[in-house]
Structure 1
């Protein structure tokens, strides 16, 4: 899910300033193997921002990949089973930038949690991650079902990392469309009275002329 950040709504006050956005788009953090963790409720622009930065990286020639957590889970599950999953896993480990969208939204089974750790551990300090999540890192242990594993995972992600907390109301809900036509506002009493007086005058004038 890639986006052009030139179209990013600068009027949205969601916890990231225009100065910070410009700095992120310069991708200096990517050259230094820094990670970004975007935390916030649904609809606050996490995926849009992550997809936009992935798009910026691709334009500059980086090998950048955007994957949802569901897609990543399937790859981890079947990388030793199917050729397609094995090829996909190989692409992941050679990425300069890997975006994982909606991580820790749901609890992970043990084998997937271990596989996720192994992937991140393998790419540690050679690949930059952008992680989007609506869960505070303190809640990750519950999603992984293993506090030790969660601590080890966060240790690698947070070692060189910028944590950005996005706030505000859901952009989707604020800008949702409707299937109903907008109704014309009802006329107030003063407007109706004025029209009635005008109509009466027309009737009187017509009567006098006849």
Structure 2
């Protein structure tokens, strides 16, 4: 009877109710004391939350944001003129509800795109329709629609967006046709929807970048008369990457523990270091594979960072007179609930009395929320994208598609444990597809290993490659 009910719920696309019903059946002790009405309320609540989450994910995917950002991850410690209270207010999206605009200016790498994408993420979470474009790409697409007769339809689609984000404004002078297209866009959206502009140029130079004074007046009047402004300053936040030597990247032992942090909870965390200029920078990756966010994660990260520094000191890994190395703390989260915990330690503390603010500990971490990043990983450009896709592929057909794409670029140089893990993954998670796929083993052994054999022969290591082929085929059998 339960199987039939679950099938019918899923046929009705009530997957949230179906999942909640399964949970109630699997945990009878938790729910048996509840009345029928209370248990039904839990089912309907779960369905509403599930629908809201799926809508948010559809909006995020459609937005095509350049960066998977979140307002909670914005860095306020870097001196660039960013006001926390202004970002907090904009994150509530009342400016979008009032059809107001946003103008972000500042030097390259100051964080304009990140801030805009973070605010766009907040808008998607509240149900607003958002789309990100580089201005040059949007104008190119509009010019192409004139050839196939879809120009009017494209303008109508832009007019329906609650928030249109235009990046790299003013990088190139506009041609006459582009000025006219931009005027059409701004006129359609004026007073009814919101537009966010990011530019390296200060607003007083936008007239010159547009070119025609009459059209420039009309376009900028529609943008500026009801706009919020954020003017960033300072050096590029990307500068450290330019000096990073990724060839020096190496994993660091993470066996340090305390009574408060049992070893069983620590072995999944990963630590690397790489050279940036003349010094090491440590990357601390915490794998947060829980169903719900940890409110105190910023405090935990402070503890883990202190433990890392303490170990470096105790084991004399620092040169005489050297200072502690910088640490980039990263949290990778794959839970179903959106991560709403603050990424900044300051938000977990009451405000310090005047005169004590500078003496308070500081900590912030970079959050990588897999579900938020999933729509950015559709291209399968790297192993991380493939892992994200595998983890959230629920149907056999989806798993098969990801596995086949993954097999196209896994080479013999990949660890044999990786191929075995992927093969076993499909066997455990989707036995029907696995058993029906006769060439399943070939995906991970013969096809890739044949390429490796050919490559190995050229290097004069025939014997070693043959031994590797036999071992890999045996392990996958």
TM class, shorter-length: 0.7 to 0.9
The alpha-carbon distance between structure 1 residues 171 and 156, as it changes in their structure 2 partners (threshold 3 A), is same
Structure 2 portions without partners, runs of 5+ = 1-65, 249-274, 281-318, 321-477
- Shifted more, 46-55 versus 141-150: the winner is 141-150
Q: How does 1:122-141 map to 2 (within 5 A)?
A: 122-141=188-207
The equivalent of 1:37 in structure 2 is: 103
SS at match of 1:178: strand
Q: How does 1:141-160 map to 2 (within 5 A)?
A: 141-160=207-226
Q: How does 1:1-210 map to 2 (within 5 A)?
A: 1-2=66-67, 3-82=69-148, 88-176=154-242, 177-179=244-246, 181=248, 182=275
- What is the Cα deviation at residue 43 of structure 1? 0.5
C-alpha offsets along residues 106-137 of structure 1, whole Å, 9 cap, x if unaligned? 10111011110111011101110110011122
- Normalising by structure 1, what TM-score? 0.80
- What is the Cα deviation at residue 152 of structure 1? 1.2
The alpha-carbon distance between structure 1 residues 20 and 174, as it changes in their structure 2 partners (threshold 3 A), is farther
In structure 2, distance between residues paired with 1:184 and 1:21: 34
- Normalising by structure 2, what TM-score? 0.37
SS at match of 1:131: strand
C-alpha offsets along residues 168-201 of structure 1, whole Å, 9 cap, x if unaligned? 110001454323534789x88xxxxxxxxxxxxx
C-alpha offsets along residues 22-63 of structure 1, whole Å, 9 cap, x if unaligned? 111111111111101001110111000111111111111111
In structure 1, distance between residues paired with 2:200 and 2:212: 19
SS at match of 2:229: strand
C-alpha offsets along residues 77-108 of structure 1, whole Å, 9 cap, x if unaligned? 12222367665443211101111011111101
- What is the Cα deviation at residue 138 of structure 1? 2.2
- What is the Cα deviation at residue 143 of structure 1? 1.7
SS at match of 2:246: coil
Structure 1 portions without partners, runs of 5+ = 189-210
The equivalent of 2:407 in structure 1 is: none
SS at match of 2:76: coil
In structure 1, distance between residues paired with 2:91 and 2:180: 32
SS at match of 2:197: strand
In structure 1, distance between residues paired with 2:279 and 2:72: 35
